[in-house]
Amino acid sequence: MDSIFPLVLDPEEAVRQAAVTAMGRFRPTATDTIVALLAKTLEDPVQSVRQAVVVTIGEIEPVPQLLEPIVGLLRSSDAAIRKAAAQALLQIDSSQSVSSLIAAGQDSDPDVRQAIVAAVGEWGGVAVSPWLRERLANDASPGVRTEAAYRLGMRSDVEAKAALDRAVAMDADSGVRNWAKRGGL
């Protein structure tokens, strides 16, 4: 495994991507060092390398206590890095990072907000239903509202069903209405 680490920083994007993919296949024990290296690699300028890191993080399943370097990337100035961080947090138990995800939920980039809604919906439990309902009702992006409808559709509380019914009746976007209808059944 030690021979792979330097390749993650190689100047060639194909080598970096292959090294990250190999790490995921070897499934090393997630240590501070490995998680920090993967978090740094989430900042790679190449989207395919960042996506390989997201998959690898899901493969090695770091414990929640090791996620701070990844959570910190939610504050990056680069929207692509913020999105990759949120996607990585969706792949693993991020229940201890839900408050940080929610704090980042007002991101200016709709793709980042959608990834955050997915992660919050996956790991937040019933306590995040009000936040998801607010995203469904008020987010400007149809993609974010659709994700919120999908996540609320997996819940069985009365307020979620009512929010989904309102979206079916009132949302301007047909995709949001379709997912709200599926979830409200």
**Would you say residue 151 lies in a domain?**
yes
**Would you say residue 120 lies in a domain?**
no
Question: pLDDT at position 157, please?
Answer: 87
Q: Are residues 16 and 46 in the same domain?
A: yes
Q: Are residues 35 and 9 in the same domain?
A: yes
List of residues 6+ apart from 38 with CB closer than 8 A = 20, 23, 53, 56, 57, 60, 70
**Would you say residue 117 lies in a domain?**
no
Residue 2: pLDDT band by 50, 70, 90 thresholds?
A: confident
CATH number at residue 163: 1.25.10
151 has pLDDT over 90: yes
Domain carrying residue 183: 125-185
Q: Are residues 24 and 59 in the same domain?
A: yes
Q: Are residues 179 and 99 in the same domain?
A: no
Q: Are residues 132 and 86 in the same domain?
A: no
CATH number at residue 26: 1.25.10.10
Q: What is the pTM (predicted TM-score) of this model?
A: 0.89
Q: How many CA atoms lie within 13 A of 177 on its CB side?
A: 7
Residue 137, SS3 per DSSP: helix
Phi, psi angles (nearest 5°) of residue 43: -90, 5
Q: Are 135 and 145 in contact (CB under 8 A)?
A: yes
Q: Are residues 152 and 74 in the same domain?
A: no
What's the structural domain count of the chain?
2
If we measure between CA atoms, which residue out of 34, 33, 15, 30 comes closest to residue 61?
Answer: 30
In total, the chain counts a number of residues equal to: 185
* Structure confidence by residue, pLDDT tens digits, 80-132: 999 999 999 999 999 999 999 999 999 999 999 999 999 999 999 999 999 99
